[in-house]
Amino acid sequence: MDYSLKFIHLSDLHLLPARQKLHGIDTTARLEAAIECICSNFADAEFCMVTGDLAEAGDVASYQTARRILDRLPHPWHGLMGNHDGRTSNAQIVLPDLPWQANGSLQYALETQAGVFIVLDSSVGGVDSGKLDTQRLDFLSQQLGLSKASGKDVFLFMHHVPFDIGIGWLDAMKLENSADLWQVLKGFENIRHMFFGHIHRPTHGSWHGIPFSTVRATAHQVLLNLENTASKFVDEDPSFAVVMVAKDQVVIHDHAFPIADQKEP
């Protein structure tokens, strides 16, 4: 198969300053291991998409660490904001070269060989759920119109999922105005795939007929419990996704990467 594009989907780094541990995990070491694996095995990817929550507490030191490690990649990386990132403006201070909007949100359109990657900012300061305000929805509508007029496929990226996934406490912090998002998306048949962060699990399916996927965090994972509404994190193997796009298909490989404290099988 002749793939027009290969890229990496990385998410939920949750870095803390001074190598503090989160849920017993050194998230900085996990990110370093992920980048080392990408450099060794997937250096031929075009770029890396990081779908939010770069820092656990939104502090300057953690964003500096994120930049230092992500810049080791042999290809460009592109980011978006998650609920943890959206609580402060420190990401703008450390990452001023990202395409920030005048209102402080981070959303943009990225031209690729496979089509247009539309990146939306679903973060809302001070809360864990997401929301797309009128300005962000207008941006999406404009970009979708331009892509349709030029005959280009669209791949959509945001942190929050706009639907329930069956894990109650996560469903309570999804995108709040999913209906508004669908009102913008419906009628556009060139949307090939939607990519999300936030879930800390590999989930795949479709929403209103549009395929979607999430990916495990490089940090901790969420326990798959479809009955209990209480939050629960587990130390499952972290992973990233290797995405390959062709004219008539999208193939996604969830790849668990080696970590220093991982036991031999």
pLDDT tens digits along 138-152: 999 999 999 999 999
- Locate 260 and state its tokens: 């220093």
Amino acid 183: pLDDT = 98
Q: What is the 3-state secondary structure (H, E, C) of the chain?
A: CCCCEEEEEECCCCECHHHCCECCECHHHHHHHHHHHHHHHCCCCCCEEECCCCECCCCHHHHHHHHHHHCCCCCCEEECCCCCHHHCCHHHHHCCCCCECCCCCECEEEEECCEEEEECCCCCCCCCCECCCHHHHHHHHHHHHHHHHCCCCEEEEECCCCCCCCCHHHHCCCECCHHHHHHHHCCCCCEEEEEECCCCCCCEEEECCEEEECCCCCCCEECCCCCCCCCCEECCCCEEEEEEEECCEEEEEEEECCCCCCCCC
Q: Which fold has domain 5-256?
A: Purple Acid Phosphatase; chain A, domain 2 (3.60.21)
Decide if pLDDT at 264 tops 50: no
Q: Please provide the average confidence, as pLDDT, over all residues in the chain.
A: 94
Q: What is the mean pLDDT of residues 6-16?
A: 98
Q: What is the mean pLDDT of residues 189-196?
A: 97
Amino acid 1: pLDDT = 66
59-70: per-residue pLDDT in tens? 999 999 999 999
Q: What is the mean pLDDT of residues 222-248?
A: 92
The pTM of this model reads: 0.95
